[in-house]
C-alpha cells in the first residue's frame, strides 16, 4: 500500500514569509503528484500538478518541485498572505489511476 506523508502537520507564520511544505511518498512508480488547497468545510481546489518527467511547476507565488529518486515533493509559497491560510494536501498518482492523499498541512498566516 502506498503512503504519503506531509510535514509539518501545522504551521503558523507571519505575513510576508516564504515557506515550504513537504510531501513524501513511497511509490517508486509515481506518475504525477498534485497539490491542493482546502478551506474549512469545503472541497479541494487544485493548485499544481507535476508530472514525473518534470522537476517543477509554477503558478503565481506557488512553486512545486518533484524528486522521484528521494520520494519527495515540496510546495513553496512566496510572500505569504493571510488569504493563504488553509490546509494544503498532496496526492500521488501511480499507474492505477487511484490517488493516495497525505493528511495535509494546516497553514495559518497571521497579519
Partner 1 sequence: DTGVSQDPRHKITKRGQNVTFRCDPISEHNRLYWYRQTLGQGPEFLTYFQNEAQLEKSRLLSDRFSAERPKGSFSTLEIQRTEQGDSAMYLCASAGTGGYNEQFFGPGTRLTVL
Name the minimum Å distance from CB 36 to partner 1.
8
Q: Please, which residues bridge with residue 101 across strands? A: 91
Q: Please, which residues bridge with residue 62 across strands? A: 59, 77
Label the pairing between strands 56-59 and 62-67.
Answer: antiparallel
Using the minimum distance from each CB to partner 1, give the nearer residue, 24 or 99.
99
Tell which one of 21, 30, 35, 36 touches partner 1 (CB under 8 A). 36
Q: Restricting to residues 71-90, which ones interact with partner 1 according to CB under 8 A?
A: 89
Q: 35 near 56, Cβ under 8 Å?
A: no
> Per rule CB under 8 A, is residue 19 in the interface with partner 1?
no
Name the minimum Å distance from CB 44 to partner 1.
4
Could you give the CA distance from residue 15 to residue 31 in angstroms, rounded to a whole number?
Answer: 34
> Per rule CB under 8 A, is residue 100 in the interface with partner 1?
yes
Q: 99 near 2, Cβ under 8 Å?
A: no
Q: 105 near 21, Cβ under 8 Å?
A: yes
Name the minimum Å distance from CB 75 to partner 1.
15
Chain residues binding partner 1 by CB under 8 A are: 4, 31-32, 34, 36, 41-46, 49, 51, 89, 91, 93, 96-104
Amino acid at each position: 500500500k502506498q503512503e504519503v506523508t506531509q510535514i509539518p502537520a501545522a504551521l503558523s507564520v507571519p505575513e510576508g514569509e516564504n515557506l515550504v511544505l513537504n510531501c513524501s511518498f513511497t511509490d517508486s512508480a509515481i506518475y504525477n503528484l498534485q497539490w491542493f488547497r482546502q478551506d474549512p468545510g469545503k472541497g479541494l481546489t487544485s493548485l499544481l500538478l507535476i508530472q514525473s518527467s518534470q522537476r517543477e511547476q509554477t503558478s503565481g507565488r506557488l512553486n512545486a518541485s518533484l524528486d522521484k529518486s528521494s520520494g519527495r515533493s515540496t510546495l513553496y509559497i512566496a510572500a505569504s498572505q493571510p488569504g493563504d491560510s488553509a490546509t494544503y494536501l498532496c496526492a500521488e498518482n501511480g499507474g492505477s489511476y487511484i490517488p493516495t492523499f497525505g493528511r495535509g498541512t494546516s497553514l495559518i498566516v497571521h497579519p
